[in-house]
A and B are shown apart, each in its own frame.
Chain A
């Protein structure tokens, strides 16, 4: 018993401790550390099945895919689905809505947490700051279904508080969820409500790393609060802002389609139907789903997103020397 333990101990030392310096053949390494490869197996299998197999599945965008025939048996149609998408009667509306919601998000939802973090950073009372922060994180933990359910409750024409206020002021009750005009603001506001607190964490963390001496010398120089924020706080967190901005622009086409699915209806398709919700309706929801067409539209969107990401990264690199790569 004890000998085998000692032996195991020795091989373990070799495999764990000294393996860093060891140069041996592949096979010897695998034989010595089989456990490492066993550990890797579930993750690798998951990666291949749920990440790489779907990537390979992109080929059905170039086929007239039929589940019964499979990928190997289906007919190849080249770029037919891509051309069909450009000629789709909804093409213009889908692209416009996707871009508009993306731009609104970038314009309003992106700066909101930065402003919140700047204000929170100026709160002197630590207790007050902590309580406010905790409260601001709360919406992040509430599901989209509930957020939209509450929004519907609030804006309900009959018993919602918003319409009660409108009626009290002598206005006419508005069925918000049936009006295309109201969809974008509801989308953006509910997004800010849900995300602002949690998104501000990263900026607050960046601010916490600022050297306090910078502020001390600024005070000696007679800099007031606003000047301190402008000349110290903002420049210090600028790299974080730039990187998140690049990512945000790259994700401009990535609308929160799960939320839209809970918000839209044929009444509001005019402003609410975006590329991803269309993919969902065509590819999954409808009877006799057109898998190939939906896949092609998805690939097209992913390509455009990638181009956005690359361009923004270039621009950011040339302007601020901060970039993703």
Chain B
């Protein structure tokens, strides 16, 4: 810092505001955690503060041992993993040729990309295209349409172009083709970029409910967010009530199940993002310069 000073009244005020704000961000999650561990019998309609009312693992036991709910969860992992991988590979492959200044056809591709940035067919035509291609009720309806975004391709291109040309040339002396250069040199040198975009994309797929809602009618293919939508928003507990193990576990309430379902869905992402935080700013900066 430029000048060392004692804490002023403003500093105290500022710390207080930040602390209150952090509490506002954390409280809903803490409350949900408390709710999920609460004992259904003691809970009733009581308001949960920050501690569980009673203690019980029944909600988790139900969710984690029910085949259907487990399948929703595995579907989510599958879609997020596949979607992210496809996005990273296709975006890298599209960005790489564009880094060569004399690449024939590069201008045309850039124009096609920029147009897609400003104009879109909108919801209904996009829906109809996916419908017509016969992708409904397959995971391709979710993972293919968002795989290429002009914005991502441009950022990848800028990042790749900043890798010294001497590195690419030294590889070509060893007889490496374009695919080898991309796979062995460009990709390993772009790890921060790839990590940032992998995180954004994975989060996008993990949290999506809308596209699965319109494209996946078969319940067995649905991701966890649609299950969450049913129990949190539509207050439809048929998934839970039809659970095969409900007879085994008594003493369970819709509220504790809601809490536990939220916790098992958000935990993986909340555990990962703090470690990738240093990359956000970098990613944002690259994006901002380009945009």
Whether the Cβ atoms of A143 and B129 lie closer than 8 Å is: no
Q: List 14 A-B contacts (CB under 8 A).
A: A12-B175, A15-B172, A36-B103, A53-B121, A67-B128, A137-B277, A138-B29, A142-B207, A145-B232, A146-B228, A153-B232, A161-B31, A201-B280, A291-B128
Q: What residues on B are CB-neighbors of A212 within 8 Å?
A: 2
Whether the Cβ atoms of B144 and A50 lie closer than 8 Å is: yes
Query: Lowest 10 CB-CB distances: which A-B pairs, in order?
Result: A54-B121, A149-B232, A57-B125, A43-B94, A143-B207, A298-B122, A9-B175, A35-B178, A54-B125, A16-B172
Q: Identify the A interface with B (CB < 8 A).
A: 5-6, 8-9, 12-13, 15-17, 19-22, 26, 29-30, 33, 35-37, 39-40, 42-44, 46-47, 49-58, 60, 67, 116, 119-120, 122-124, 128, 131-139, 141-146, 148-150, 152-154, 158-161, 164, 193, 197-198, 201-202, 204-205, 212, 215-216, 219, 225, 240, 243, 258, 261-262, 276, 279-280, 283-284, 291, 294-295, 298-299, 302, 306
In-complex Cβ contact of B102 among A19, A243, A261 (8 A)? A19
Whether the Cβ atoms of A33 and B178 lie closer than 8 Å is: yes
Known contacts: A153-B258, A159-B46. The answer to whether A137 contacts B273 by CB under 8 A is yes
Q: What residues on A are CB-neighbors of B45 within 8 Å?
A: 158-159
Q: A12-B172, A42-B89, A143-B266 are in contact. List 15 more A-B contacts (CB 8 A).
A: A9-B174, A12-B175, A16-B181, A22-B102, A29-B104, A40-B109, A43-B94, A124-B7, A149-B233, A161-B47, A197-B25, A205-B288, A216-B2, A294-B123, A298-B122
Cβ of B65 under 8 Å from chain A: no
CA A306 to CA B277, docked complex, whole Å: 34
- How does the 8 Å CB contact mask read for B135-169 relative to A, with 1 for contact and 0 for none? 00000000011011000010000000000010011
Whether the Cβ atoms of B172 and A42 lie closer than 8 Å is: no
Whether the Cβ atoms of B25 and A51 lie closer than 8 Å is: no
| In the complex, number of A-B residue pairs with CB atoms less than 8 Å apart | 294
CA A16 to CA B166, docked complex, whole Å: 11
Residue of B nearest to A50 (CB): B145
Q: Identify the B interface with A (CB < 8 A).
A: 1-3, 5, 7-8, 10-11, 14-15, 17-18, 21-22, 24-26, 28-29, 31-32, 35, 45-49, 89-91, 93-94, 96-97, 100-105, 109, 112-113, 116, 118-131, 133, 144-145, 147-148, 153, 165, 168-169, 171-179, 181-182, 203, 206-210, 214, 225, 228-229, 231-233, 255, 258, 262, 265-266, 269-270, 273-274, 277, 280-281, 284-285, 288, 291
Q: What residues on B are CB-neighbors of A8 within 8 Å?
A: 175, 177
Main secondary structure on A side of the interface with B: helix
Whether the Cβ atoms of B232 and A141 lie closer than 8 Å is: no
Residue of B nearest to A51 (CB): B116
Known contacts: A143-B265, A145-B233, A262-B233. The answer to whether A295 contacts B124 by CB under 8 A is yes
CA A13 to CA B181, docked complex, whole Å: 12
Nearest CB on B from A26, distance (A): 5
Known contacts: A42-B93, A44-B94, A128-B15. The answer to whether A141 contacts B284 by CB under 8 A is no
Whether the Cβ atoms of B47 and A276 lie closer than 8 Å is: no
Whether the Cβ atoms of A135 and B26 lie closer than 8 Å is: yes
Known contacts: A54-B125, A145-B228. The answer to whether A37 contacts B255 by CB under 8 A is no
Whether the Cβ atoms of B25 and A138 lie closer than 8 Å is: yes
Whether the Cβ atoms of B109 and A44 lie closer than 8 Å is: yes
In-complex Cβ contact of A119 among B18, B25, B129 (8 A)? B18
Whether the Cβ atoms of A122 and B2 lie closer than 8 Å is: no
Whether the Cβ atoms of A138 and B121 lie closer than 8 Å is: no
CA A242 to CA B277, docked complex, whole Å: 26
Q: What residues on A are CB-neighbors of B121 within 8 Å?
A: 51, 53-58
Whether the Cβ atoms of B123 and A49 lie closer than 8 Å is: no
CA A122 to CA B3, docked complex, whole Å: 12
Nearest CB on B from A209, distance (A): 9
